Amino acid sequence: KAGVTQTPRYLIKTRGQQVTLSCSPISGHRSVSWYQQTPGQGLQFLFEYFSETQRNKGNFPGRFSGRQFSNSRSEMNVSTLELGDSALYLCASSLEGGGGPTGELFFGEGSRLTVL
């Protein structure tokens, strides 16, 4: 069974640009969550999508957005990039969501974004 696939793995952007990251969940998983990982803040929850609907959202500005398609693949977009957006963005999928009793989270290897 293929794992969670994230593309691209590495990318470099400049301030003010926008970026789109993609996540293909494990086959059959309907929930996709996104996390931002930085050395200073650790892992911070961005949002979760379930059956094409955003079900949960973290405390990030509106520049961060996402969506989920009917095949459960998900994308996240960051507009007007700032230096502080440099981070590893991790996607995780699960059957029903959350990572707790409703289902284990399976993580991809992440997309490392560098903003210059």
Binding site for another protein (CB under 8 A): 4, 33, 35, 41-43, 45, 48, 50, 55-58, 90, 92, 97-102, 104-105, 107-110
Q: Which residues of 26-46 are buried (b: 16+ CB within 10 A; e: fewer)?
A: beebbbbbbbbeeeeeeeeeb
Rounded least distance, CB 80 to another protein, Å: 26
DSSP structure class, residue 102? T
Q: Which is nearer to another protein, 13 or 98 (CB)?
A: 98
Among residues 57, 58, 76, 55, the alpha carbon closest in space to that of 67 is found at 76
Rounded least distance, CB 43 to another protein, Å: 4
Q: Which is nearer to another protein, 23 or 115 (CB)?
A: 23
Q: Which is nearer to another protein, 17 or 43 (CB)?
A: 43
Rounded least distance, CB 89 to another protein, Å: 11
| The two structure tokens encoding residue 60 | 């990030």
Rounded least distance, CB 78 to another protein, Å: 19
| Backbone angles phi and psi of 83, in degrees to 5 | -55, -35
Q: How many CA atoms lie within 13 A of 107 on its CB side?
A: 12
The amino acid at residue 35 is Y
Q: Which is nearer to another protein, 9 or 15 (CB)?
A: 9
